[in-house]
Chain A
Amino acid sequence: MTRYDLAVLLMLTAGSLQAKPRAPRPGADELLLKTLAGPATSYVAVERVQVFLPGKKPKALKVNIMALPGRVRREVLPLRKKATPLVSVSDREASRAGLARLRALYDLAVSTGGVVAKRKTWKLELRMKSGALRRVLWVDRDSGLLMKRETYRDDGTLARRERIVKLALPAAVDPAGFRAAPAAGPWTPDGFVYTGDSGGRRHYSNGLESYDVGLAGGKTVVTGDLAEDDAARVLESAAK
Protein backbone atom coordinates (compact mmCIF):
# COMPACT_ATOMS: atom_id res chain seq x y z
CA MET A 1 0.00 0.00 0.00
CA THR A 2 1.50 3.28 -1.05
CA ARG A 3 1.33 6.45 0.98
CA TYR A 4 -1.21 7.81 -1.44
CA ASP A 5 -3.54 4.83 -0.98
CA LEU A 6 -3.18 5.11 2.78
CA ALA A 7 -4.10 8.79 2.74
CA VAL A 8 -7.20 8.13 0.62
CA LEU A 9 -8.24 5.29 2.93
CA LEU A 10 -7.84 7.48 6.00
CA MET A 11 -9.89 10.29 4.41
CA LEU A 12 -12.69 7.93 3.46
CA THR A 13 -12.75 6.43 6.95
CA ALA A 14 -12.82 9.86 8.56
CA GLY A 15 -15.58 10.99 6.22
CA SER A 16 -17.79 8.03 6.99
CA LEU A 17 -17.24 8.48 10.73
CA GLN A 18 -18.24 12.15 10.49
CA ALA A 19 -21.40 11.45 8.51
CA LYS A 20 -24.66 11.42 10.44
CA PRO A 21 -26.26 8.03 10.73
CA ARG A 22 -29.29 7.66 8.47
CA ALA A 23 -32.62 7.87 10.22
CA PRO A 24 -34.26 4.47 10.24
CA ARG A 25 -37.16 4.40 7.81
CA PRO A 26 -40.42 3.98 9.77
CA GLY A 27 -43.02 1.39 8.91
CA ALA A 28 -45.98 2.59 6.83
CA ASP A 29 -48.55 1.88 9.54
CA GLU A 30 -46.48 3.54 12.23
CA LEU A 31 -45.96 6.65 10.08
CA LEU A 32 -49.61 6.85 9.09
CA LEU A 33 -50.77 6.53 12.69
CA LYS A 34 -48.45 9.37 13.66
CA THR A 35 -49.76 11.50 10.78
CA LEU A 36 -53.40 10.87 11.58
CA ALA A 37 -52.84 11.69 15.27
CA GLY A 38 -51.13 14.97 14.34
CA PRO A 39 -48.47 16.87 16.27
CA ALA A 40 -48.50 16.71 20.05
CA THR A 41 -48.03 20.48 20.24
CA SER A 42 -50.03 23.40 18.90
CA TYR A 43 -48.86 25.00 15.68
CA VAL A 44 -49.63 27.74 13.18
CA ALA A 45 -49.25 27.28 9.44
CA VAL A 46 -50.13 28.69 6.05
CA GLU A 47 -51.27 26.16 3.49
CA ARG A 48 -51.63 26.57 -0.24
CA VAL A 49 -54.20 24.41 -2.00
CA GLN A 50 -53.82 23.98 -5.76
CA VAL A 51 -56.40 22.36 -8.01
CA PHE A 52 -55.48 21.21 -11.49
CA LEU A 53 -58.57 20.86 -13.65
CA PRO A 54 -58.06 19.20 -17.05
CA GLY A 55 -57.54 21.74 -19.82
CA LYS A 56 -57.76 24.73 -17.48
CA LYS A 57 -55.35 27.00 -15.65
CA PRO A 58 -54.38 25.82 -12.18
CA LYS A 59 -56.28 27.51 -9.36
CA ALA A 60 -55.09 28.10 -5.83
CA LEU A 61 -56.21 29.44 -2.49
CA LYS A 62 -54.51 30.14 0.80
CA VAL A 63 -55.53 28.75 4.17
CA ASN A 64 -54.44 29.98 7.60
CA ILE A 65 -54.24 27.04 9.98
CA MET A 66 -54.21 27.12 13.78
CA ALA A 67 -54.11 23.83 15.60
CA LEU A 68 -54.25 22.50 19.10
CA PRO A 69 -53.54 18.83 19.71
CA GLY A 70 -56.62 17.07 18.32
CA ARG A 71 -58.37 20.14 16.89
CA VAL A 72 -57.69 22.21 13.77
CA ARG A 73 -59.06 25.59 12.74
CA ARG A 74 -58.86 26.46 9.04
CA GLU A 75 -59.52 29.93 7.68
CA VAL A 76 -59.75 30.27 3.91
CA LEU A 77 -58.74 33.79 2.98
CA PRO A 78 -60.92 35.43 0.31
CA LEU A 79 -59.37 37.33 -2.58
CA ARG A 80 -61.28 40.48 -1.73
CA LYS A 81 -60.08 41.85 1.59
CA LYS A 82 -63.54 42.94 2.68
CA ALA A 83 -65.12 39.53 2.05
CA THR A 84 -65.76 37.19 4.96
CA PRO A 85 -63.24 34.36 5.36
CA LEU A 86 -64.52 30.80 5.37
CA VAL A 87 -63.75 29.34 8.80
CA SER A 88 -64.07 25.72 9.85
CA VAL A 89 -63.10 23.91 13.03
CA SER A 90 -62.69 20.16 12.97
CA ASP A 91 -61.62 17.45 15.36
CA ARG A 92 -59.11 14.84 14.29
CA GLU A 93 -60.61 11.41 13.95
CA ALA A 94 -59.32 8.45 15.91
CA SER A 95 -56.13 7.49 14.15
CA ARG A 96 -56.82 3.74 14.34
CA ALA A 97 -60.11 4.20 12.43
CA GLY A 98 -58.36 6.29 9.79
CA LEU A 99 -55.59 3.74 9.39
CA ALA A 100 -58.09 0.88 8.99
CA ARG A 101 -59.93 2.78 6.23
CA LEU A 102 -56.76 3.64 4.33
CA ARG A 103 -55.38 0.14 4.73
CA ALA A 104 -58.60 -1.31 3.29
CA LEU A 105 -58.32 0.88 0.18
CA TYR A 106 -54.64 1.34 -0.52
CA ASP A 107 -51.24 -0.30 -0.52
CA LEU A 108 -48.75 1.85 1.37
CA ALA A 109 -45.06 2.42 0.76
CA VAL A 110 -42.60 4.69 2.60
CA SER A 111 -39.56 6.35 1.04
CA THR A 112 -37.33 9.35 1.71
CA GLY A 113 -39.12 12.62 1.06
CA GLY A 114 -37.58 15.99 0.39
CA VAL A 115 -37.65 19.13 2.49
CA VAL A 116 -40.99 20.91 2.76
CA ALA A 117 -41.21 24.26 4.56
CA LYS A 118 -37.71 23.62 5.94
CA ARG A 119 -38.75 20.29 7.50
CA LYS A 120 -37.33 16.90 6.56
CA THR A 121 -40.05 14.53 5.47
CA TRP A 122 -40.92 10.94 4.78
CA LYS A 123 -42.86 10.22 1.61
CA LEU A 124 -45.81 7.87 1.83
CA GLU A 125 -47.38 6.54 -1.36
CA LEU A 126 -50.97 5.32 -1.36
CA ARG A 127 -51.73 3.07 -4.33
CA MET A 128 -55.03 1.51 -5.26
CA LYS A 129 -55.13 -2.26 -5.13
CA SER A 130 -55.05 -2.03 -8.93
CA GLY A 131 -51.61 -0.40 -8.67
CA ALA A 132 -52.74 3.11 -9.67
CA LEU A 133 -51.16 5.87 -7.57
CA ARG A 134 -53.90 7.84 -5.80
CA ARG A 135 -52.17 9.94 -3.15
CA VAL A 136 -48.68 10.86 -2.03
CA LEU A 137 -48.13 12.26 1.46
CA TRP A 138 -45.06 14.09 2.76
CA VAL A 139 -44.89 13.76 6.53
CA ASP A 140 -42.69 15.74 8.91
CA ARG A 141 -40.17 13.29 10.38
CA ASP A 142 -40.22 14.87 13.84
CA SER A 143 -43.82 15.80 14.52
CA GLY A 144 -45.80 13.62 12.10
CA LEU A 145 -47.49 16.69 10.63
CA LEU A 146 -48.78 16.22 7.09
CA MET A 147 -46.70 18.79 5.19
CA LYS A 148 -47.83 18.09 1.65
CA ARG A 149 -50.34 15.89 -0.11
CA GLU A 150 -50.86 15.25 -3.79
CA THR A 151 -53.89 13.49 -5.25
CA TYR A 152 -53.86 11.86 -8.68
CA ARG A 153 -56.59 10.90 -11.14
CA ASP A 154 -57.04 7.46 -12.63
CA ASP A 155 -55.03 8.52 -15.69
CA GLY A 156 -52.08 9.51 -13.46
CA THR A 157 -52.44 13.29 -13.84
CA LEU A 158 -52.13 15.51 -10.80
CA ALA A 159 -55.56 16.64 -9.57
CA ARG A 160 -54.74 18.45 -6.38
CA ARG A 161 -51.85 19.57 -4.20
CA GLU A 162 -52.02 20.81 -0.62
CA ARG A 163 -48.76 22.12 0.78
CA ILE A 164 -47.75 23.89 3.95
CA VAL A 165 -45.71 26.88 2.85
CA LYS A 166 -45.04 28.43 6.26
CA LEU A 167 -44.92 26.69 9.60
CA ALA A 168 -44.37 27.61 13.24
CA LEU A 169 -44.20 24.45 15.32
CA PRO A 170 -44.56 24.57 18.24
CA ALA A 171 -46.44 27.86 18.45
CA ALA A 172 -48.58 29.61 21.05
CA VAL A 173 -52.22 29.36 19.98
CA ASP A 174 -55.13 31.16 21.63
CA PRO A 175 -57.84 28.58 22.49
CA ALA A 176 -60.45 31.36 22.11
CA GLY A 177 -60.12 30.96 18.34
CA PHE A 178 -61.59 27.46 18.59
CA ARG A 179 -64.94 28.48 20.08
CA ALA A 180 -66.81 27.64 16.90
CA ALA A 181 -68.11 24.12 17.31
CA PRO A 182 -67.29 21.59 14.61
CA ALA A 183 -69.98 21.66 11.92
CA ALA A 184 -72.89 19.32 12.45
CA GLY A 185 -73.85 16.71 9.87
CA PRO A 186 -71.76 14.32 7.81
CA TRP A 187 -68.02 14.84 7.69
CA THR A 188 -66.78 16.96 4.79
CA PRO A 189 -63.25 17.06 3.38
CA ASP A 190 -61.33 20.27 4.11
CA GLY A 191 -62.70 23.19 2.12
CA PHE A 192 -65.98 21.56 1.13
CA VAL A 193 -69.27 22.98 2.40
CA TYR A 194 -72.93 22.15 1.98
CA THR A 195 -74.44 24.10 -0.92
CA GLY A 196 -78.02 22.82 -1.02
CA ASP A 197 -80.04 19.81 -2.04
CA SER A 198 -82.19 18.84 -4.99
CA GLY A 199 -83.74 15.62 -6.23
CA GLY A 200 -83.09 13.93 -2.89
CA ARG A 201 -79.34 14.54 -3.12
CA ARG A 202 -77.26 16.82 -0.93
CA HIS A 203 -74.62 18.85 -2.75
CA TYR A 204 -71.21 19.84 -1.40
CA SER A 205 -68.62 22.03 -3.11
CA ASN A 206 -65.36 23.87 -2.58
CA GLY A 207 -66.03 26.20 -5.51
CA LEU A 208 -64.14 24.11 -8.07
CA GLU A 209 -64.82 20.52 -7.13
CA SER A 210 -68.07 19.03 -5.90
CA TYR A 211 -69.75 15.86 -4.76
CA ASP A 212 -73.25 14.65 -3.93
CA VAL A 213 -74.60 12.39 -1.22
CA GLY A 214 -77.85 10.59 -1.99
CA LEU A 215 -79.76 7.35 -2.00
CA ALA A 216 -79.55 4.85 -4.85
CA GLY A 217 -81.18 1.43 -4.59
CA GLY A 218 -81.79 1.93 -0.89
CA LYS A 219 -78.10 2.64 -0.21
CA THR A 220 -76.32 5.92 0.49
CA VAL A 221 -73.88 6.72 -2.30
CA VAL A 222 -71.29 9.44 -2.82
CA THR A 223 -70.58 10.66 -6.33
CA GLY A 224 -68.23 13.37 -7.54
CA ASP A 225 -64.68 14.64 -7.25
CA LEU A 226 -63.51 12.75 -4.17
CA ALA A 227 -60.70 10.28 -3.64
CA GLU A 228 -61.83 6.86 -2.44
CA ASP A 229 -60.76 7.39 1.18
CA ASP A 230 -62.61 10.71 1.45
CA ALA A 231 -65.75 9.19 -0.10
CA ALA A 232 -65.53 6.26 2.34
CA ARG A 233 -65.26 8.63 5.29
CA VAL A 234 -68.25 10.66 4.09
CA LEU A 235 -70.28 7.44 3.85
CA GLU A 236 -69.18 6.33 7.32
CA SER A 237 -70.19 9.64 8.88
CA ALA A 238 -73.50 9.76 6.95
CA ALA A 239 -74.40 6.31 8.28
CA LYS A 240 -73.90 7.39 11.92
Chain B
Amino acid sequence: MNEDEDARLAKAAMKSLLVPAPESLKADLKRLARNLKPARSIWDGLGETLSGGAWAYGAGAAFAAAGIGIFILRAVPGRSLSSGVVERPAARLETAPQVLADLWADDSGEDNDEI
Protein backbone atom coordinates (compact mmCIF):
# COMPACT_ATOMS: atom_id res chain seq x y z
CA MET B 1 0.00 0.00 0.00
CA ASN B 2 1.50 3.20 -1.05
CA GLU B 3 0.99 6.68 0.42
CA ASP B 4 -1.50 7.83 -2.24
CA GLU B 5 -3.78 4.94 -1.52
CA ASP B 6 -3.65 5.62 2.22
CA ALA B 7 -4.71 9.23 1.72
CA ARG B 8 -7.63 8.22 -0.46
CA LEU B 9 -8.82 5.70 2.14
CA ALA B 10 -8.55 8.27 4.91
CA LYS B 11 -10.60 10.79 2.86
CA ALA B 12 -13.32 8.18 2.22
CA ALA B 13 -13.48 7.35 5.92
CA MET B 14 -13.90 11.02 6.84
CA LYS B 15 -16.63 11.44 4.24
CA SER B 16 -18.57 8.51 5.63
CA LEU B 17 -18.41 10.01 9.13
CA LEU B 18 -19.99 13.42 8.05
CA VAL B 19 -23.80 13.84 8.67
CA PRO B 20 -25.51 15.40 5.64
CA ALA B 21 -26.89 18.98 6.37
CA PRO B 22 -30.65 19.48 6.05
CA GLU B 23 -31.81 21.17 2.84
CA SER B 24 -33.64 24.13 4.49
CA LEU B 25 -31.32 24.86 7.35
CA LYS B 26 -32.38 28.52 7.70
CA ALA B 27 -36.09 27.73 7.87
CA ASP B 28 -35.42 24.97 10.40
CA LEU B 29 -33.40 27.34 12.57
CA LYS B 30 -36.22 29.92 12.52
CA ARG B 31 -38.78 27.29 13.43
CA LEU B 32 -36.57 26.12 16.27
CA ALA B 33 -36.20 29.67 17.64
CA ARG B 34 -39.95 30.27 17.43
CA ASN B 35 -40.65 27.11 19.37
CA LEU B 36 -38.24 28.13 22.09
CA LYS B 37 -39.86 31.67 22.50
CA PRO B 38 -43.35 31.75 24.14
CA ALA B 39 -46.09 33.68 22.14
CA ARG B 40 -46.95 37.20 23.43
CA SER B 41 -50.50 38.38 23.74
CA ILE B 42 -51.62 41.78 22.28
CA TRP B 43 -52.26 43.08 25.82
CA ASP B 44 -48.67 42.33 26.78
CA GLY B 45 -47.58 44.36 23.74
CA LEU B 46 -49.83 47.28 24.64
CA GLY B 47 -48.66 47.30 28.23
CA GLU B 48 -45.10 47.30 27.11
CA THR B 49 -45.81 50.16 24.73
CA LEU B 50 -47.41 52.33 27.36
CA SER B 51 -44.68 51.76 29.86
CA GLY B 52 -42.00 51.45 27.29
CA GLY B 53 -39.26 53.38 25.59
CA ALA B 54 -38.85 56.94 24.33
CA TRP B 55 -40.79 56.45 21.08
CA ALA B 56 -43.90 55.63 23.12
CA TYR B 57 -43.93 59.17 24.50
CA GLY B 58 -44.19 60.54 20.94
CA ALA B 59 -47.03 58.17 20.06
CA GLY B 60 -48.88 59.14 23.25
CA ALA B 61 -48.45 62.84 22.53
CA ALA B 62 -49.77 62.41 18.98
CA PHE B 63 -52.78 60.49 20.31
CA ALA B 64 -53.53 63.24 22.85
CA ALA B 65 -53.12 66.02 20.24
CA ALA B 66 -55.54 64.27 17.90
CA GLY B 67 -58.10 63.97 20.71
CA ILE B 68 -57.82 67.67 21.63
CA GLY B 69 -58.11 68.65 17.96
CA ILE B 70 -61.31 66.67 17.51
CA PHE B 71 -62.73 68.21 20.70
CA ILE B 72 -61.99 71.78 19.51
CA LEU B 73 -63.42 71.20 16.03
CA ARG B 74 -66.62 69.89 17.55
CA ALA B 75 -66.85 72.72 20.07
CA VAL B 76 -66.42 75.64 17.57
CA PRO B 77 -69.84 76.47 16.06
CA GLY B 78 -70.18 76.57 12.28
CA ARG B 79 -67.44 74.04 11.60
CA SER B 80 -68.20 70.75 10.08
CA LEU B 81 -65.85 67.83 10.55
CA SER B 82 -67.33 65.83 7.75
CA SER B 83 -67.12 68.40 4.94
CA GLY B 84 -64.18 70.43 6.19
CA VAL B 85 -66.00 73.57 4.92
CA VAL B 86 -66.63 76.57 7.16
CA GLU B 87 -70.38 77.07 7.34
CA ARG B 88 -72.08 80.28 8.40
CA PRO B 89 -74.77 80.00 11.05
CA ALA B 90 -78.25 79.97 9.59
CA ALA B 91 -79.34 82.78 11.88
CA ARG B 92 -79.60 86.36 10.54
CA LEU B 93 -76.30 87.82 9.49
CA GLU B 94 -74.75 90.76 11.22
CA THR B 95 -72.40 93.16 9.53
CA ALA B 96 -69.76 94.85 11.62
CA PRO B 97 -70.17 98.66 11.64
CA GLN B 98 -66.46 99.08 10.93
CA VAL B 99 -66.83 97.13 7.67
CA LEU B 100 -69.54 99.60 6.63
CA ALA B 101 -67.54 102.64 7.74
CA ASP B 102 -64.66 101.48 5.54
CA LEU B 103 -66.87 101.82 2.46
CA TRP B 104 -66.90 105.62 2.72
CA ALA B 105 -64.21 107.95 1.41
CA ASP B 106 -63.61 111.67 1.85
CA ASP B 107 -65.40 113.69 -0.79
CA SER B 108 -65.38 117.22 -2.15
CA GLY B 109 -69.16 117.43 -1.84
CA GLU B 110 -69.54 118.61 -5.44
CA ASP B 111 -72.67 117.89 -7.41
CA ASN B 112 -71.59 116.68 -10.83
CA ASP B 113 -71.95 113.69 -13.12
CA GLU B 114 -68.49 112.19 -13.09
CA ILE B 115 -66.69 111.09 -9.95
Contact = CB atoms under 8 A, between A and B. Distances in A.
Nearest to A207: B100
Contacts, number: 76
A48 B114 CA distance: 9
Per DSSP, are chain A's interface residues mostly helix, strand or loop, or mixed?
Answer: strand
Contact of B106 (A46, A57, A194, A210): A57
Q: When A and B form their complex, which 6 residue pairs have the shortest distance between CB atoms, in order from nearest?
A: A207-B100, A60-B107, A58-B109, A207-B101, A59-B104, A58-B107
A52 to B, nearest CB: 7
B104 A60 contact: yes
Interface of B: 92-97, 99-109, 111-115
Given A62-B115, A117-B113, A163-B111, A195 B105 contact: no
Given A48-B115, A165-B114, A59 B105 contact: yes
A201 to B, nearest CB: 14
30 contacts: A46-B115, A50-B107, A50-B109, A58-B107, A59-B105, A59-B107, A60-B107, A60-B115, A62-B115, A76-B103, A79-B103, A79-B105, A86-B95, A116-B113, A161-B111, A163-B113, A165-B113, A166-B113, A193-B100, A194-B92, A194-B94, A195-B94, A195-B95, A195-B96, A195-B100, A205-B100, A207-B97, A207-B100, A207-B102, A207-B104
Contacts of A86: 95, 100, 103
A54 B95 CA distance: 25
A194 B105 contact: no
B72 to A, nearest CB: 26
Contacts of A206: 100
Interface residues of A, number: 36
A51 interface: yes
B93 A208 contact: no
Nearest to A58: B109
A52 B93 CA distance: 28
A83 interface: yes
B114 to A, nearest CB: 6
Contacts of A218: none
A224 interface: no
Q: Among B94, B95, B108, which residue has the most Cβ atoms of chain A within 10 A?
A: B95
